[in-house]
Amino acid sequence: MQSVRFLALAGALALSFAVAGAMADSPASFLERFNADARNAGEGPGNAARGQKFFNQTHGNEWKCAACHGAVPTGKGEHAVTHKIIEPMAPAFNPQRFTDAAKVDKWFRRNCKDVLARECTAREKADVMAWLIGLK
């Protein structure tokens, strides 16, 4: 009887690890999340053309994303103030991008506040993600 319970427990653990692995953070999962948040806010899904425009547009603080990441963020960028090198933003050129929810949330929050003087909306995040994912 105990061996049956052990096998059932082992099977359940294996399944939970498989599900957790399948749900790992990825650029596509962040786009899905931002699209869902945008829909919940009554906005439409991400749009790559809007994302490109947003990324390259100067906003209220006289900053734009492209100032540090480059107009097409497929190569290394440089922080406009600290001159720290920034690895490419486009996931196709940097597989480490958009693989950690804590980092993604932290950097969107921080950079949006720098560029916009507020947090980005879910649609703005979805737009930028849609554009970045499309860069090949």
- The C-alpha atoms of residue 71 and residue 51 are separated, in whole angstroms, by 12
Locate the domains of the chain by residue range: 25-134
End-to-end CA distance of the chain: give it in Å, rounded: 55
Q: Retrieve residue 90's tokens.
A: 């486009």
- The C-alpha atoms of residue 127 and residue 46 are separated, in whole angstroms, by 4
pLDDT of 62 = 81
Can you give the pTM of this predicted structure? 0.80
H helices present in the chain, as ranges: 2-22, 27-40, 48-56, 66-69, 101-116, 122-134
List pLDDT tens digits, range 16-54.
Answer: 333 334 456 999 999 999 999 999 999 999 999 999 999
pLDDT of 60 = 76
The DSSP code for 121 is P
Contact 99, 19 (CB under 8 A): no
If one compares 91 and 12, the residue with the highest pLDDT of the two is 91
Determine whether domain 25-134 maps to CATH 1.10.760.10: yes
Q: How many CB atoms lie within 10 A of CB 75?
A: 14
